[in-house]
Structure 1
Amino acid sequence: MTSPELSAELSAAGARVRTVLIAGCLISLVGFGARSVLGLFLEPMTGDLGWSRETFAFALAVQNLMWGLCVPVAGMLADRFGAARVIAFGALLYAGGIAGMALSATPWMLHLSAGLVTGLGVAFTAFSLALAAMARVVGPERRSMALGLGTAAGSLGQVVFSPLGQGFILAFGWQTALLLLAGCTLALLPLAFVLPRTPVAAGGHPGDDPAQTLRAALGEAGRHRGYVLLTTGFFVCGFHVAFITVHFPAYVKDLGLGGSVGAMALALIGLFNIVGSFGSGLYGQTHSKKTGLATIYGLRALVILGLLLAPKTPLVIGLFAAAMGLLWLSTVPLTTGIVGQVFGLRYMNTLFGIVFLSHQLGSFSGVWLGGVLYDAFGTYDPVWWAGVGLSVLAMLLHLPIDERPLRRRPSAAPA
């Protein structure tokens, strides 16, 4: 191959990588942004329809549970067939679920649409699928940064969709606002087909074995103490994120502050999460990922404790949102990075999907208990205190993790 031909090929490859990274970021932005603002609909929906907060909270708890249960399945399909078709199918479910939420007249209809169908849609468009696709088109030296970039894009989605969702509600009412939100999720369809159609990784991994079976990979991970600790600790992240996403706007209104303060807080969380997520990815390039995770969870305990003890003013709410935003999804690049670093990229979607299931079990607990305990005690304080204790536990769980890459003997089994 001549030098001009080689240069042209390299240029085309670089353009392809940039295109995939941009598409992955946009998928993360829309997919995460749309679901992150559903908490804005708690107060207007329950007020108009005469439902308890527990009814709405249970629907979104089911959504988080379905998301977690189905992400490993979506990951297996993406590892086998590529992420494009999986995400395209999920986009249709996602839009249909949110549209059905707008038309729900009874609690069971809400649980079916907002819970079951939307949960399936979120799982099959999960930003973890986009992150894995992005990781596969860059070399090992840039993977942590790419994961941080994709996670930061999800945070930008929260920044964009928080005022957008609140504006839709104020201008058109909550039902039309949900239909407009459903339309936004259909943008995932064309973006999905920009991603690679096959699960082939660039640059490989020192321990990758192309002949390793999925069953062998699952058994290997299950016997790895660090993987078990990582999976257990990620429960806490889900507990925090889902509880705050769904209940924080209502918590702010209970304090006597306006609805705009709650929407502002969600937007601030997303805005500062851009910095936190990208910074976390950069940190993971050169530093211990487990140490970074332990630090993040320890700081979360301090931030929540500060909110509980401080006077509840708009300034305090804003400072809490900014601080929590820095720690919000900064766990994702480091957690995903440990999975890829230890086990390689061959089954990264599947293995992270199982870790993410733990996250969503935490999400289910945070959302549902938030509604149950509020209805029982008339305050969210018990859930906040639980969040402090879980943060300390997660910090301690991450410290013993062995994050060194596994070195495998090449398998003789067929691929």
Structure 2
Amino acid sequence: MNPAQAAPRLSMSQVLLCGAAIVTLSMGIRHGFGLWLQPITLERGWTRETFAFALAVQNLAWGLAGPVAGGLADRFGAFRVLLVGSVLYAAGLVLMALSTSGLAFTGSAGLLLGMAQSGTTYAVIYGVIARQVAPEKRSWAMGVAAAAGSFGQFLMVPVESWLISAWGWQSALIILGCVALAIMPLAFGLKEPAVPATAAQHRQSVGSALREAFGYRSFQLLMAGYFVCGFQVVFIGVHLPSYLKDEGMNPGVATTALALIGLFNVFGTYGAGVLGQRFAKRHLLSTIYALRSVAIVVFLSVPHSPMAVYVFAATMGVLWLSTVPPTNAVIAQIFGVQYMSMLGGFVFLSHQVGSFLGVWAGGLLYDATGSYDIVWWIAVALGVFAALVNLPVRETPIARPALQPA
């Protein structure tokens, strides 16, 4: 028997319940940040670029801290990383409410929240799922966790919009800071059993794992595709409310659109997890990216109305985070689960570099041209690129010499 298989496991239902609840909170809170763009910039007298830059830093910090958080979770357990991430999340939201300068806002909404998200979202949770769920159910389980994050987006956007209306944008952020602390008790459900000594003897070193992954062509292609994913979804998530207001639409349309993205993302991510068990994941990823570009082109080509926005939001929702389960499942399939969180964190770093450019370019080019048109078409071109680069990905386990006992 493989020693790694002899390690005790948490029950799959416990892992999915606690992991899904954590992702629901962490992803749900951040999905509504676009609702704060106009109230904060108007009250503080900032440009949209100031707000956009802070969220761009948030996404970049999330990406840069992701491999570190993932490596710590692989080495010391996700439980400890989640506890720290929860505290950082709460602190970042409170300080975001209290920031009175662009620099302070970038430090709180950007740096601190980005670090918090690295320790409370997919890379850490998927590492636990990969280690605790049997391989034949892994893609499905990742789809369930991603669907939970999508439900969080659907659930939290109207809640956040109501909090802003009822309590003001500052109090709303402080309330959400208290909500983020709920991640701490949920983390106890993901406290993994200790690895038996016999299993610990047969471990690949961190350096060897990194050299192997970054020298492997398919890993590089997955990173390139995830860069595009980040650019598209964060640009749309942050700037869509302001884009629709510029088009003369009621703010309620934007709130409904973001909620629809979250709702339909539940079906998209779960469906991607199921389909990833049956079909080649590279083909699934290529199709998702291609359909995103088609959806954006159609949206830009038709007359804008609330119904057109809702159809676009529902379509993008199906495709929103549906890249997450197959991408992470491929990583586990190729490299195994020992460093799943760390390698997933590096792929996600590429996603967040794309997020940084997407959200910042949206604000920068809007201030320069008075329009989001250029960024929309960049997103279309990148979608075509991602559809092509995912096709050559090899999903078979990497061939490596037998590991010697430490």
TM-score range, shorter chain: over 0.9
Residue type at the aligned position of 1:166: S
Residue type at the aligned position of 1:352: G
1:349-368 aligned within 5 A: 349-368=341-360
- TM-superposed CA distance for 1:211, in Å, is 2.4
| 1:112 equivalenced with 2:104 (yes/no) | no
Measured in 1, the distance between the counterparts of 2:89 and 2:329 equals 27
Equivalent residue of 1:286, what SS?
coil
Measured in 1, the distance between the counterparts of 2:216 and 2:138 equals 23
Measured in 2, the distance between the counterparts of 1:298 and 1:232 equals 15
1:179-198 aligned within 5 A: 179-198=174-193
Measured in 1, the distance between the counterparts of 2:394 and 2:402 equals 22
Measured in 2, the distance between the counterparts of 1:300 and 1:163 equals 25
TM-score, structure 2 length as denominator?
A: 0.95
Residue type at the aligned position of 1:84: F
1:142-157 aligned within 5 A: 142-157=137-152
> Quick one: which of 378, 394, 403 aligns to 1:386?
378
Instruction: Give every structure 1 segment of 4 or more consecutive aligned residues whose post-TM-superposition deviation is greater than 2 Å.
Output: 13-17, 196-201, 208-211
> Quick one: which of 280, 284, 293 aligns to 2:276?
284
- 1:219 aligns to what? 211
- TM-superposed CA distance for 1:285, in Å, is 0.5
Quick one: structure 1 residues 199 and 215, their matched pair in 2 at CA, closer, same or farther if it must change by over 3 Å?
farther
Equivalent residue of 1:337, what SS?
helix
- 2:96 aligns to what? 101
**Alignment check: 8 A CA contact 1:133 1:196 kept:** no
Residue type at the aligned position of 2:121: A
- TM-superposed CA distance for 1:299, in Å, is 0.3
- TM-superposed CA distance for 1:368, in Å, is 0.4
- 1:38 aligns to what? 33
- TM-superposed CA distance for 1:410, in Å, is 1.5
1:7-406 aligned within 5 A: 16-198=11-193, 210-406=202-398
Measured in 1, the distance between the counterparts of 2:195 and 2:293 equals 40
**Alignment check: 8 A CA contact 1:24 1:130 kept:** yes
Measured in 1, the distance between the counterparts of 2:151 and 2:384 equals 28
Equivalent residue of 1:48, what SS?
helix
Quick one: structure 1 residues 305 and 171, their matched pair in 2 at CA, closer, same or farther if it must change by over 3 Å?
same
Deviations 1:109-145 (A, max 9, x none): 1011101111111111122211221232221110000
Measured in 1, the distance between the counterparts of 2:352 and 2:109 equals 15
- TM-superposed CA distance for 1:233, in Å, is 1.2
Give the superposed CA RMSD.
1.7
**Alignment check: 8 A CA contact 2:32 2:156 kept:** yes
Share of identical aligned residues, percent?
49
- TM-superposed CA distance for 1:209, in Å, is 9.3
Equivalent residue of 2:13, what SS?
helix
- TM-superposed CA distance for 1:14, in Å, is 9.4
TM-score, structure 1 length as denominator?
A: 0.93
Quick one: structure 1 residues 14 and 226, their matched pair in 2 at CA, closer, same or farther if it must change by over 3 Å?
closer
User: Aligned pairs, how many?
Assistant: 397
Runs of 5+ unmatched residues, structure 1? 1-12
**Alignment check: 8 A CA contact 1:209 1:411 kept:** no
Residue type at the aligned position of 1:195: L
- TM-superposed CA distance for 1:413, in Å, is 5.2
